[in-house]
């Protein structure tokens, strides 16, 4: 790299940093930024005399957004050194050991959010400031007052700065984006941007609506006398702040590596987005001895997790037709490796999403894959377009059967009931795990059987023979026998699974179970009134089932004759609870689910909320608002032992 290229890289990194820190709308993935950053750093290490003062390696990232008042931190806020592998972590440990051979590590998750400094004086929250450039940040005091996990008063009178991360749970981030999608607003790329963007709102009421949380990780000025960071932080947590789920204080390097592995394993399970683990020196006097660079403390380091967000290119959008006829767009992308998995496709909800995100074929996009979740496109990098990108048109005809599609905005549907895609989809659903669970009857085989016209309807599965199967490509005696045996074995399935397997619109697993329990084998005789009376059934579900029965009654009876599903109809014993609505509250001596089933066997309807229509509230220990409401409404209440007395 020559000096000119070095300067160009600095310019690009600074533009990316502004978009990331100031606008909360990144122009690149973290991985790309980190690569660029390290290229700059390497050049500076090799040519220290030519290092430029504007380099991102020389300062803490942020700047103050226009519209906010500037505010000064009492003690400086820092950035953090990154390491990406064990060897670099061990090298950092060795550097600390040169100063002191034996020391204690303080390790915790690195949540990915927005950095915040809280200044308390006389036990009151006086000011809240974003990190900014480390010396001066934005005054966000009023916004911060809307965050529930930030105490406005603490039981400590001396001046103290409490630093931490403002985060939003992954699930709340998803909900926020779903709402923004339907409101036609720009989406946040990830929880970090959502947290930072929600905190830095000029309109406080917007911040208040977002579910922000605050996790402390350090302190600025203070007159605490404890000698270890871990002790100081315990004190901070005791003042009423949230504590992160995993903190490890240890002298053992092995423990540090173990925590790293554990956090990566729990990465999806932990509700907050983490981008690594932070390792700190616990001894405050050793921290001071180690000191700081211009940018970060030498006594702590971030051991980063492998990136789950990558930049790739959208090659095409293909269409998938499901068993209900819904046409879903699928993004075909250039293959990228995310945590060891090669990703080539990403889901898109619907065409509205494509339009709102303005996704075009040929675009560079940031794609995320976390855990088992199907990869998705989180951001289009529009400034990388060269004009050759193609706008995605909404389809007019079914890609499978060619018939005209119904486009109702959010959903595009093929209405042709005998569309191959719908029929094949229905058979695949019938054989799937949660339905009949027929081993060896996966998507490919169903497609093959359908293409050969051997199975055009699920009932045809039960007349298949080995000769027919052996004539198919890829079938040998063993495979054919296994498949026939698995099909045979699906006979005598529970009625609820059978109903679910039929793939009736709006009738899923839970509803199928309720139908089976309520009507048993006579379920095809149920009428609209009986169906809508079932707990949790709305008009849409009842109508759909009635319509299904109307069209498919004879055929379904035939299928039942072949399959002989076993009914699990609940036999009800008459009791004082028969036909009554009962609510359970408080903690009971036996599992609530067991009590619920027992009451249902006595003919009770067990509901979750208390109203005038409730007949009994049965309470255990520490019962709260539901019991209070029952007393207020004059609903009859029974303790757990009174209940036991009545049913013995």
Ligand X SMILES: NC(=O)c1ccc[n+]([C@@H]2O[C@H](COP(=O)([O-])OP(=O)(O)OC[C@H]3O[C@@H](n4cnc5c(N)ncnc54)[C@H](O)[C@@H]3O)[C@@H](O)[C@H]2O)c1
Measured from the CB atom, the residue of 31 and 505 that comes closer to ligand X is 31
Name the residue whose CB lies closest to ligand X.
Answer: 115
Residue holding tokens 């995993």? 246
**Near ligand X in 442-501, by CB under 6 A:** none
Nearer to ligand X, 84 or 103 (CB): 84
Residue placing its CB nearer to ligand X in the complex, 15 or 533: 15
Cα-flanking dihedrals φ and ψ of residue 321, to 5°? -110, 120
Q: Which is nearer to ligand X, 278 or 405 (CB)?
A: 278
Q: Is 44 annotated as a binding residue?
A: no
Is 107 annotated as belonging to a binding site? no
By a kind-dependent CB cut-off of 5 to 8 A, residue 16 interacts, out of ligand X, Zn ion, none, with ligand X
Q: Do residues 385 and 378 lie in contact, with contact meaning Cβ atoms separated by under 8 Å?
A: no
Judged by CB under 6 A, which stretch of 13-21, 92-100, 136-144, 493-501 contacts ligand X?
A: 13-21
Residue from the set 6, 120, 173, 217 that interacts with ligand X by CB under 6 A: 217
**Sign of the alpha-carbon dihedral angle for 546, 551, 554, 556:** negative
Contact 449, 442 (CB under 8 A): no
Q: Are the C-beta atoms of residues 600 and 606 closer than 8 Å to each other? A: yes
Pick out residues in 359-418 that bind Zn ion (CB under 5 A).
398, 400-401, 414, 416
Of 249, 278, 378, 516, the one binding ligand X by CB under 6 A: 278
* Binding-site string for ligand X from residue 90 to residue 129, where x marks contact by CB under 6 A and - marks none: ------------------x-xx---x--------------
| Residue 214 φ then ψ, to 5° | -125, 125
Nearer to Zn ion, 232 or 422 (CB): 422
The three-class DSSP label of residue 399 is coil
- Residue 111 CA to residue 167 CA, distance in Å, equals 7
Question: What x-and-dash track marks residues 28-67 binding ligand X by CB under 6 A?
Answer: xxx--xx--------------------------x------
Quick check: 282 and 105 in contact, CB under 8 A?
Answer: yes
Q: Report the SS3 class of residue 584.
A: strand
401 binds, among ligand X, Zn ion, none (CB under 5 to 8 A by kind): Zn ion
Residue 110 among the catalytic residues: yes
Active-site residue among 110, 211, 497, 514?
A: 110
Query: With binding defined as CB under 6 A, does residue 16 bind ligand X?
Result: yes
Closest CA to 436 of 397, 405, 413, 462: 462
Taking alpha carbons only, the member of 270, 412, 436 closest to residue 328 is 412
Q: Which of 191, 218, 375, 503 lies at the binding interface for ligand X (CB under 6 A)?
A: 218
Between residues 110 and 210, which has the closer beta carbon with respect to ligand X?
A: 110
CA-closest candidate to residue 78, choices 304, 287, 307, 309: 287
From the list 314, 419, 461, 534, which residue makes contact with Zn ion (rule: CB under 5 A)? 419
Main-chain phi, psi angles of 323, to 5 degrees: -70, -20
Q: Which does 414 bind (CB under 5 to 8 A by kind): ligand X, Zn ion, none?
A: Zn ion
3-state secondary structure of 230: helix
Total residue length of the chain = 648
Provide, rounded to whole angstroms, the least separation between the CB of residue 276 and ligand X. Answer: 8
How buried is 471 (Cβ within 10 angstroms: 0-12 exposed, 13-18 middle, 19+ buried)?
A: exposed
Q: Is 596 annotated as a binding residue?
A: no
- 517 belongs to an annotated ligand binding site: no
Per rule CB under 6 A, is residue 26 in the interface with ligand X? yes
| Rounded Cα gap, residues 608 and 205, in angstroms | 32
Is 232 an interacting residue with respect to ligand X (CB under 6 A)?
no
Q: Roughly how many angstroms between the first and final C-alpha of the chain, as a whole number?
A: 85
Q: Which of residues 510-539 bind Zn ion (CB under 5 A)?
A: none
**The two structure tokens encoding residue 454:** 């051997």
What is the size of the binding site for ligand X (CB under 6 A)? 23
* Residue 309 near ligand X by CB under 6 A: no
CA atoms of 60 and 63, how far apart (whole Å) = 9
Q: Characterize the bridge pairing of strands 212-219 and 70-72.
A: unpaired
Residues that bind ligand X (CB under 6 A): 16-17, 20, 26-30, 33-34, 61, 79-80, 108, 110-111, 115, 131, 165, 217-218, 278, 302
Active site residues per annotation: 110
Annotated binding site for Zn(2+): 398, 401, 414, 419
Annotated binding site for NAD(+): 30-34, 79-80, 108, 131, 165, 280, 304
């Amino acid at each position: 790299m020559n000096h000119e290229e070095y300067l160009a890289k600095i310019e690009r990194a600074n533009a990316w940093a502004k978009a990331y820190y100031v606008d909360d709308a990144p122009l690149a993935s973290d991985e790309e930024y980190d690569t660029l950053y390290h290229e700059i750093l390497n050049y500076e290490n090799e040519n220290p005399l030519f290092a430029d003062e504007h380099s991102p390696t020389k300062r803490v990232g942020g700047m103050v957004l226009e519209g906010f008042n500037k505010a000064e931190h009492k003690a400086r806020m820092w950035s953090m050194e990154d390491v990406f592998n064990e060897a670099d972590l061990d090298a950092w440990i060795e550097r600390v050991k040169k100063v002191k051979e034996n020391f204690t590590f303080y390790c915790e998750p690195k949540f990915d959010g927005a950095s915040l400094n809280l200044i308390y004086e006389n036990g009151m929250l006086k000011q809240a400031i974003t990190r900014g450039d480390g010396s001066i940040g934005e005054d966000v005091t009023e916004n911060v007052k809307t965050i529930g996990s930030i105490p406005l008063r603490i039981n400590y009178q001396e001046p103290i700065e409490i630093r931490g991360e403002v985060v939003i749970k992954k699930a709340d981030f998803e909900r926020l984006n779903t709402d923004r999608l339907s409101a036609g607003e720009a989406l946040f790329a990830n929880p970090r941007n959502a947290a930072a963007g929600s905190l830095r709102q000029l309109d406080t009421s917007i911040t208040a609506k977002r579910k922000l949380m605050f996790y402390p990780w350090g302190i600025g000025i203070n007159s605490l006398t404890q000698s270890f960071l871990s002790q100081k932080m315990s004190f901070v947590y005791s003042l009423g702040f949230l504590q992160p789920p995993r903190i490890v204080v240890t002298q053992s390097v092995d423990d540090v590596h173990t925590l790293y592995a554990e956090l990566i394993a729990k990465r999806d399970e932990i509700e907050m987005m983490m981008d690594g683990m932070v390792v700190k020196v616990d001894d405050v006097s050793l921290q001071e001895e180690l000191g700081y660079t211009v940018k970060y403390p030498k006594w702590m380091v971030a051991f980063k997790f492998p990136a789950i967000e990558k930049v790739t290119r959208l090659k095409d959008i293909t269409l998938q037709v499901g068993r209900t006829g819904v046409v879903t767009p699928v993004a075909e992308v250039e293959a990228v490796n995310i945590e060891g998995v090669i990703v080539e496709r990403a889901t898109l909800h619907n065409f509205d999403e494509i339009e709102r995100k303005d996704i075009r074929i040929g675009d560079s996009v940031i794609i995320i894959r976390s855990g088992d979740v199907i990869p998705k496109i989180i951001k289009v990098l529009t400034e990388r377009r060269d004009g050759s990108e193609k706008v995605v048109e909404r389809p007019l005809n079914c890609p499978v059967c060619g018939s005209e599609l119904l486009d109702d905005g959010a959903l595009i549907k093929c209405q042709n009931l005998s569309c191959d895609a719908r029929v094949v989809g229905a058979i695949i659903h019938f054989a799937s795990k949660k339905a009949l669970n027929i081993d060896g009857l996966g998507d490919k085989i169903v497609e093959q059987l359908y293409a050969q016209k051997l199975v055009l309807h699920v009932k045809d599965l039960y007349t298949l023979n080995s000769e027919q199967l052996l004539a198919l490509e890829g079938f040998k005696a063993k495979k054919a026998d296994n498949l026939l045996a698995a099909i045979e074995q699906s006979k005598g399935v529970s009625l609820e699974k059978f109903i679910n397997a039929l793939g009736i619109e709006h009738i899923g697993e839970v509803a199928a179970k309720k139908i089976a329990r309520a009507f048993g084998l006579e379920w095809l005789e149920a009428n609209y009134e009986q169906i809508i009376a079932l707990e949790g059934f709305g008009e849409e579900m009842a109508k759909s089932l009635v319509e299904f029965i109307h069209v498919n009654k004879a055929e379904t009876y035939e299928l039942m004759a072949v399959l002989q599903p076993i009914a699990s109809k609940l036999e009800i014993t008459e009791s004082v609870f028969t036909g009554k609505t009962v609510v359970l509250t408080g903690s009971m001596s036996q599992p609530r689910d067991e009590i619920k089933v027992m009451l249902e066997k006595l003919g009770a309807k067990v509901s979750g909320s208390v109203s005038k229509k409730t007949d009994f509230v049965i309470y255990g220990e520490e019962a709260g608002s539901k019991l209070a409401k029952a007393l207020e409404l004059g609903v009859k209440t029974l303790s757990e032992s009174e209940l036991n007395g009545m049913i013995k």
